[in-house]
């Protein structure tokens, strides 16, 4: 079960350099095994809105939640103490600490291109690392 970070989704949505890698990951891993945080979901909405790309946002929502089985996870106020601890312990910004704690709390493998997770005890994996392991 995988918590997919914002940068993975955006890589595919914006057809960036590693889009093919992300596409292959999404083909191999069933959507019922994929999770996204509410924070990442809303961040993607903000980014696509700023890019004036509402079509991509609607396609994203349809692919993940209407046609797919991706689940949204969230952290409540009671987990914010842990988010702050992780920010301080690993020198992460809020969004990375939020992803880290969500993965920890829900016992998920973090999938990200973000190298900041490498300095934590939950370094996560790239889509390619998961593909190679399947």
pLDDT in tens, 57-80: 999 999 999 999 999 999 999 999
> According to the model, what pLDDT value does residue 45 have?
97
Whether 111 contacts 3, CB under 8 Å: yes
What CATH number does residue 21 fall under? 3.40.50.1010
What pLDDT sits at residue 40?
98
Helix (H) or strand (E) holding 40: helix 38-50
Q: pLDDT > 70: what percent of the chain? A: 99
pLDDT at 63: 95
CA distance 11 to 78: 31
User: Do the beta carbons of residue 75 and residue 101 sit within 8 Å?
Assistant: yes
Q: How many structural domains are present in the chain?
A: 1
* Helices and strands counted in the chain (H then E): 7, 4
Given a cut of 70, whether residue 134 has pLDDT beyond it is no
pTM: 0.95
C-alpha–C-alpha distance, residues 51 and 49, integer Å:
5
HSE of 13, CA atoms in CB hemisphere, 13 A: 25
Range of the domain at 120: 2-131
Confidence at 55, pLDDT banded by 50, 70, 90: very high
- The secondary structure element, H or E, covering residue 109 is strand 109-111
Mean pLDDT of 21-38: 97
């Amino acid at each position: 079960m995988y918590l997919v970070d914002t940068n993975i989704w955006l890589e595919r949505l914006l057809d960036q350099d590693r889009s093919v890698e992300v596409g292959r990951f999404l083909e191999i891993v069933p959507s019922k095994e994929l999770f996204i945080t509410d924070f990442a979901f809303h961040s993607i909405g903000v980014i696509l809105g700023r890019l004036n790309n509402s079509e991509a946002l609607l396609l994203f929502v349809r692919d993940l939640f209407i046609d797919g089985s991706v689940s949204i996870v969230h952290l409540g106020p009671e987990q914010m103490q842990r988010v702050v601890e992780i920010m301080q312990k690993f020198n992460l910004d809020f969004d990375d600490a939020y992803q880290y704690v969500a993965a920890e709390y829900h016992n998920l493998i973090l999938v990200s291109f973000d190298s900041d997770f490498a300095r934590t005890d939950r370094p996560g994996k790239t889509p390619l690392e998961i593909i190679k392991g399947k």
